[in-house]
A and B are shown apart, each in its own frame.
Chain A
Amino acid sequence: MTKINEMTMNDEKQTAEFEARIARGEKIEAGDWMPEAYRKQLIRMISQHAHSEYIGMLPEGKWIPHAPSLRRKMILIAKVQDEAGHGQYLYHAAETLGATREEMMDAFLTGKAKYSSIFNYPSDTWADVGMIGWLVDGAAIRNQTMLAQCSYGPYSRAMVRICAEETFHHKQGKEMVLLYAHGTPKQREMVQDALNRYWWPSLMMLGPHDADSPNTPQLVRWGIKTKTNDEVRQEFIAETAPELLAAGLTIPDPELHFDEESGQWIHGPIDWDEFWQVVRGNGPCNAERLGARRQAHEDGAWVREALNGYAQKALST
C-alpha cells in the first residue's frame, strides 16, 4: 500500500472534510487521508480484536479431543477454525493501515497488546463450550454487528464477513445449552455451573460503563462505534436473559429484573475491579493462555523459516 499525505492543507481543514465524509456515510479506504489518532485507534482496536480471535481458539480448542459426539466434534473444529479465519481477516484489516503482522505478533506475545478479557477465564467443563457459544459469541455478535457499520472500509468488510459466519457459532452453543438444560441431572448441573461462571464475564466483556469509557464519544463521532457499551449490554441482556430463564436455568444475579417503566433490564453491580485485574493480566488464565500462544509460536519458528528458505532457493535457481 502507498504512503499518502503530501498535502499542504492544514490538519484542521482536513479533519473537517474527513468528518464530513463520515457524516455522509462514505467509507474511508486505505490510502485516504485520515487523522493520525483515527489510524492509531483503529490499529489498536482491530489488532486487539484479532488477538482475541486468535487466543480465543484455546479455551474451546482444548475440548475438541473430548467432544462427546462426532457431530459436536465436527462443529467444534469448524467453529475454532472460523476463529482462526476471523483473526486472519482482522489482521488483514490492520495491515491495510500499515501495521505488519510481525509487529502485531510481537506486541501480542510480549503482552504489550491487549485482548478480550473473556478468554482469560477457564473452560473447565464441556458445557463451557456451549455457554461460550451462546453468551460470549452472542455478546460478541452484538459488538460486531455494530462494527460492521464502521467508517473504515476494511474493518467494516471484515465484520460483515465475520457476522455472516458467526451466527452459526451462537446457534450451536444455544442448541447445546438448551439440550443439556433439559438433559440428565448431571448435564443440567454441568450447564448451570457453566452459566454461573460465564454470566458476569460476558457482561463485562462488553466494556466499562459509558461514564468510565472516555474514548467512546470520539469513536462514535468518527463512526468507528455506533453505539455505547451500555447500549450494547442492554441489548444483550434483553436477548439472552428471558431465554435462559425459560430454559429453567438460574442467572447468578439476584437483582436482575425487567423494569416495565423504563423498558430496561436492571442488573446488579458489575465487579469492575475483577474486570480491570483481568485486563491488566491478572485473570485466572492470562499466563496459561499467553504461554500456550508463545509456545506454539516458538515451536513453529523453524517451520516459518523453512518455507522462507525454500522460497529463496526456488528464486535463486
Chain B
Amino acid sequence: MDTQWPRWEVFKKDTAKKPYQAVGSVHAADADHALLNARNVFVRRPQAVSLWVAPAAVIFSRTAEQLEQGNPLPDVDQSVQQTYQIFRKATHRRSMTFMDHIGQVEAPSPAHALQAAIAQFPDPPALAWWIIPADQIISSGEDREMAAAWFDPAKTKTYKHQSAYGFVSARPQGRRRSGAKDE
C-alpha cells in the first residue's frame, strides 16, 4: 500500500496580536518535516509570525450539534492533570480559517478539558471545538531571527500578488528590448 505520510493540522499566527488559526493540513512523516511543509504550503505569501503543527490523529473534536446530541469526548481518567490547548469556531462567516486558538486548560481527560473550556470560554457560543494535548503541538518558535528566515522572504515575492499586474486591459506600449544581443 502506498503511503502519503500522516496528516498534521497547521495553525498559523498572522501577527503578534492575532491568535493561532487552523488553516489546513500537510502530510509529513515526522514533526520537524511537518513544520517545514507547513511553512512551504501556507506561507507562500505573507503573512505569519509563527506556526504550530499537531498530528491530526491526536485532535479531539466536537461540533455543537454533536454535543447537543449527547456525544461527549472520551473520559478516560489519566489521574494526572495535563495541559490542553483549546480551539474554537464561533461564526458562520465566510473565511479562510477554521478554528481560533483561545487558550489552554489543565484537565485529567479530554472530556474534562472540554467541560472546562465550555465553562471558561462561554462567549461567543462555539459551533465547534478542538481539544489538543499541549505536548503534541510542535511550534516553529517565536524567535525573531528564525521568524525572519522563515516568514519574511514571502514579502519580497510581489509577483505573486494580482496588484503587481495593475490594470492590464489597456493597450500595452510597444516597448522593445534595448541593447544589442550578441550571438
* Chain A residues in the interface with B (C-beta under 8 A): 1-2, 4, 6-7, 25-27, 29-33, 71, 74-75, 78, 81-82, 85, 88-89, 92, 95, 100-102, 105-106, 148-149, 153-154, 156-158, 160-161, 164-165, 167-168, 170-172, 174-175, 178-179, 182, 243, 246-247, 297, 301, 304-305, 307-308, 310-311, 314
Contacts and interface: CB of A to CB of B under 8 A. Distances in A.
Contacts of B44: 78, 81-82, 85, 165
12 contacts: A1-B56, A2-B66, A29-B89, A31-B66, A31-B128, A32-B66, A160-B95, A168-B161, A168-B165, A247-B171, A307-B29, A314-B30
B3 A304 contact: yes
A208 to B, nearest CB: 28
B112 to A, nearest CB: 17
Contacts of A82: 44, 160
A176 B61 CA distance: 47
Contact of A2 (B26, B62, B96, B169): B62
Contacts of A153: 98
A88 B7 CA distance: 11
B4 A171 contact: no
B2 A301 contact: yes
Contact of A158 (B24, B157, B168): B24
B42 to A, nearest CB: 8
Interface in B31-62: 33, 41, 44-45, 56, 59-62
Contact of B65 (A32, A156, A304): A32
Interface of B is mostly: loop
Given A25-B92, A71-B159, A164-B96, A1 B61 contact: yes
Contacts of B59: 1
A92 B24 contact: yes
Contacts of A148: 94
Given A74-B159, A305-B3, A168 B164 contact: yes
A247 B170 CA distance: 9
Interface in B70-111: 71, 89, 92, 94-98
A47 B45 CA distance: 25
Contacts of B89: 29
A160 B71 CA distance: 31
Contacts of B169: 174, 178, 243, 246
Interface of B: 1-5, 7, 23-30, 33, 41, 44-45, 56, 59-63, 65-66, 69, 71, 89, 92, 94-98, 127-128, 157, 159-162, 164-165, 168-169, 171-172, 174
Given A154-B98, A168-B161, A182-B174, A304 B4 contact: yes
B96 to A, nearest CB: 5
Contact of B98 (A81, A157, A174): A157
Nearest to B69: A7
Nearest to A78: B160
A223 to B, nearest CB: 12
A231 to B, nearest CB: 20
Given A307-B5, A307-B30, A27 B172 contact: no
Contact of B69 (A6, A81, A301): A6
B165 A102 contact: no
A243 B170 CA distance: 10
Contacts of B61: 1-2, 30-31
A209 B41 CA distance: 36
A307 B30 CA distance: 8
